[in-house]
Amino acid sequence: MPEDLAAPPSPLPQPGLRETKKQETRQLISDHATRLFIAQGFERTTIAEIAHAARVAKKTVTNYFPRKEDLALDRQGAFTASLAAAVRDRAAGESALAALRRAFAEAATAAEPVAGFSPPAFSRMVAGSPTLSSRVRDLHDLREAALAQELARATGADEGDLAPRTAAALLGAVHRVLFQYVQQLTLAGRGRAEITAAALAEADAAFTMLEPSLGGYAVA
């Protein structure tokens, strides 16, 4: 059938009213929690205060966010999956290192949270909370573990093979250090354009250091 006569693609199914309402409620709770955390500090803010501000029951808050940290760091799933996703979706002929190098450059250029970008007030809130700082370190560990699993799958490594874990540790460390660097510059009051330029330059140097050992690893 000629392309201009083909039927238009079916529209993607839209979420129902109930699902839309749940998403709105979740976002409402998250927004109020973030506002209170920034104003009062994470440790000093209670679930009861968040529930009161959002005009929902305490149980509603915990149903959406089982842990208090989840209220502040509500993009954990996307963060921990990001490196593995970059490797999984790499182009033909592209190595894991090249894919991750490109993914960071794209995230930094777009000033995305996955690369460490966040408003200064939010960065100060996280840095000032031992609980959240510890949770961010845990998320980096989880992201590295997910990357190791994807590298093992991509290379067909046997169970117990340390090569994927070693590669993930090296590649994950670069992303961890760059994330921390972006946060450091944010807390120092640097502008977003300056932070992006500095992060891209440091990323180029860091990934280049790994080229001799990982440049040909896990090529699609």
Sketch the domain layout of the chain as residue ranges: 16-69, 76-214
- Report the alpha-carbon distance of residue 191 to residue 193 in Å, rounded: 6
Give backbone dihedrals phi and psi of 75, rounded to 5 degrees, phi first.
Answer: -115, 30
What pLDDT does 9 receive?
A: 52
Does 4 have pLDDT greater than 50? no
Given this structure, which CATH class describes domain 16-69? Answer: mainly alpha
Mean per-residue pLDDT, 7-27: 74
Instruction: Report the CATH fold assignment for 76-214.
Output: Tetracycline Repressor; domain 2 (1.10.357)
Q: How far is CA 61 from CA 17, 45, 52, 136, in A?
A: 20, 13, 10, 21
> Could you report the per-residue pLDDT of 46-102, keeping only the tens digit for each?
999 999 999 999 999 999 999 999 999 988 999 999 999 999 999 999 999 999 999
Other beta carbons less than 10 A from residue 91's beta carbon: 9
pLDDT interval class at 30 (50, 70, 90): very high
* Pairwise pLDDT comparison (18 vs 98), residue with the higher score: 98
The C-alpha atoms of residue 48 and residue 158 are separated, in whole angstroms, by 49
What is the mean pLDDT of the segment spanning 156-163? 93
Task: Kindly state the DSSP code that residue 73 receives in the 8-state scheme.
Answer: -
Question: Which residue's entry shows tokens 């927004």?
Answer: 31
Please tell me the number of Cα atoms within 13 Å of 184 on its side-chain side: 8
95 neighbors 219 (Cβ within 8 angstroms): yes
How many Cα atoms are found within 13 Å in the side-chain-facing hemisphere of 51? 14
